[in-house]
Amino acid sequence: MQESATPGGAPRRRVGRPRSGVLDRELIARASLKLVTSGGYTALTMSAVAKALGVSPSALYNHVESKQELMQWIQEIVMDGVDSSAFATHPLEQALLRWAASYRDIFVDHAPLIPLIAVLPVSGSPRTLQMYEEVAAGFTRAGWKQSQIIPSIVAIESFIFGSALDATAPLDIFDPGANAGNIPHFEGALAAQRATGNNSAEDAFITGLRAMITGLLANAELD
Amino acid sequence: MQESATPGGAPRRRVGRPRSGVLDRELIARASLKLVTSGGYTALTMSAVAKALGVSPSALYNHVESKQELMQWIQEIVMDGVDSSAFATHPLEQALLRWAASYRDIFVDHAPLIPLIAVLPVSGSPRTLQMYEEVAAGFTRAGWKQSQIIPSIVAIESFIFGSALDATAPLDIFDPGANAGNIPHFEGALAAQRATGNNSAEDAFITGLRAMITGLLANAELD
DNA sequence: ATTACTAAATGAATGACGTTCATTTACTAG
DNA sequence: CTAGTAAATGAACGTCATTCATTTAGTAAT
């Protein structure tokens, strides 16, 4: 992957101490995340990031290629908050429950990243890969057939992302409004769920997560 | 829901035949969907829609409040393509499998709608409500406890949306690239999945869907 | 027919954005 | 002291969605 060597063989710049400059990746990423935390993703504009750093918007482009890339930096930091430690200490089923809950909780606050992540190559993020390694190790130790590990992980992740999106919905999202009347089964189910007093998104997440894990364990062929 | 009657009791305009005009909701929605089908969601701009209709962009705003609303119109049409007919004819498990597969397939081509839908009140769309009615009826006939129906539906939907997003990802999304080497379990799992020759997203969807349905049925308390 | 009313279309303008680029600034190495 | 260079600047650009004053053209009432 190396370019052809310098023709003269002359020694090139070696060290290159940081060339002054107010900005670097870490600073930009942190400032951006701070903006997001305080004002949500609508507050994340290149101008706002620049302003927060006391710099002009165009200056950012010496360090980041695009806003997309900036969001990938944020995603890495956010992803780092997902707790996958349980795989080293707990049986697979419980580790999965903890991991998934932590994963979802974090992305509820970062829903706009989801369409990005779902499509993002994992290669750029060592910490994310490390997470996958821990999860995969958990499955392996539980005796899973190798070829079923990735599909199982991806399935759980898909459910997590969908659930995180769902959790940002308004509470009355299912209110049939003026169209009530000819949908008796649905209305009955709705009333019964409401009567439980549970938050609907939370309820669905727990129900779905338990079901998926139960089902994966039940359907799995061990090695 | 009627406003107070005209004070004088005088008869007001009755009919109101369509007031001429080139545009209406149906036309705009169809033209928009056509644009999306041919050029994806990046091709969906108000200018492009207007151009397709031979009209100026501002004219659209006499009929639609915002681009968001336009996308809701599209969503309704798209949603109408989801096949929930199996609930009337098949046992719950098979009906769910068919419904979910149809649902996902459709939204793979409309991923940008997903963040919108997940958050959208269902009240505005009679056809979508009808779909929920059919699904809810399926659960009811299978003897499910009422309070568990909504969470189960939402859980499956969350998985569907997440899977649809996932399906738009590049094939090599999990390639560890330069960070390979210290993630043996993950790499092993990856290689094994690849060796099956299955498409990873498809594999995950089938695995996850089966697992979730198996798990829901296993965990369900019947009425 | 003339008049009044009104839905609907126009085209110019606005305001966010992300992004580019020629130029300047200021540090570092030889 | 002289290049060389990373990084910052500020003025543009282009793309959008959206607004608004104005015009156009049907319809209903006198």
Query: What does the DSSP 8-state code read for residue B171?
Result: T
Q: Give the three-state DSSP class for A206.
A: helix
Q: What is the pLDDT of residues A4-42, one digit of tens each?
A: 332 323 332 323 334 566 678 999 999 999 999 999 999
**Shortest CB distance from B186 goes to which of A129, A185, A190?**
A129
Domain range summary for chain B, segments of one domain joined by +? 25-78, 81-219
Mean pLDDT on A196-203: 96
pLDDT at position A11 is 30
Which 160-189 residues of chain B touch chain A by CB within 8 A? 160-163, 165-166, 168-170, 172-179, 182-186, 188-189
Q: What is the pLDDT of residues B66-105, one digit of tens each?
A: 999 999 999 999 999 999 999 999 999 999 999 999 999 9
**Shortest CB distance from A219 goes to which of B174, B192, B210?**
B210
Residues of chain B contacting A140 with CB distance shorter than 8 Å: 185, 188-189
Q: What is the pLDDT of residues A79-115, one digit of tens each?
A: 999 999 999 999 999 999 999 999 999 999 999 999 9
CA A127, C1' C27: Å apart?
34
Q: Give the three-state DSSP class for B144.
A: strand
Chain A: residue whose CA lies nearest to B166: A118
Residues of chain A contacting B210 with CB distance shorter than 8 Å: 215, 219
Angle at A13 (CA atoms; ends A12, A16), nearest 5 degrees: 165
Burial pattern B120-143, b for ≥16 Cβ within 10 A else e, equals bebbbbbebbbbbbbbbbbbbebe
Among A24, A219, A222, A194, which Cα is nearest to B149's? A194
d(CA B203, CA B189): 14
d(CA A186, CA A191): 9
Q: Does residue A146 have a pLDDT over 80? A: yes
Q: Does residue A52 have a pLDDT over 50? A: yes
pLDDT at position B20 is 61
CATH topology of domain B81-219: Tetracycline Repressor; domain 2 (1.10.357)
Say what percent of chain B tops pLDDT 70.
90
pLDDT band for position B139 (cuts 50, 70, 90):
very high
Residues of chain A contacting B160 with CB distance shorter than 8 Å: 162
pLDDT band for position A119 (cuts 50, 70, 90):
confident
pLDDT at position A121 is 87
* Measured CA distances, A25 to A4, A17, A77, B176 (Å): 29, 16, 12, 22
d(CA A60, CA A135): 36
> Nucleotides of chain D within 7 Å of a protein C-beta?
5-11, 15-21, 25-29
pLDDT band for position B55 (cuts 50, 70, 90):
very high
The answer to whether the C-beta of A57 is closer than 7 A to strand C is yes
Report the range of poorest mean pLDDT among A138-147, A174-183, A188-197, B79-88.
Answer: A174-183
Backbone φ, ψ for residue A13 (5° rounding): -50, 130
pLDDT at position B18 is 40
Q: Does residue B146 have a pLDDT over 70? A: yes
Superfamily of domain A25-78: Homeodomain-like (1.10.10.60)
Identity of the residue numbered A175? D
d(CA A30, CA A76): 11
CATH topology of domain A80-219: Tetracycline Repressor; domain 2 (1.10.357)
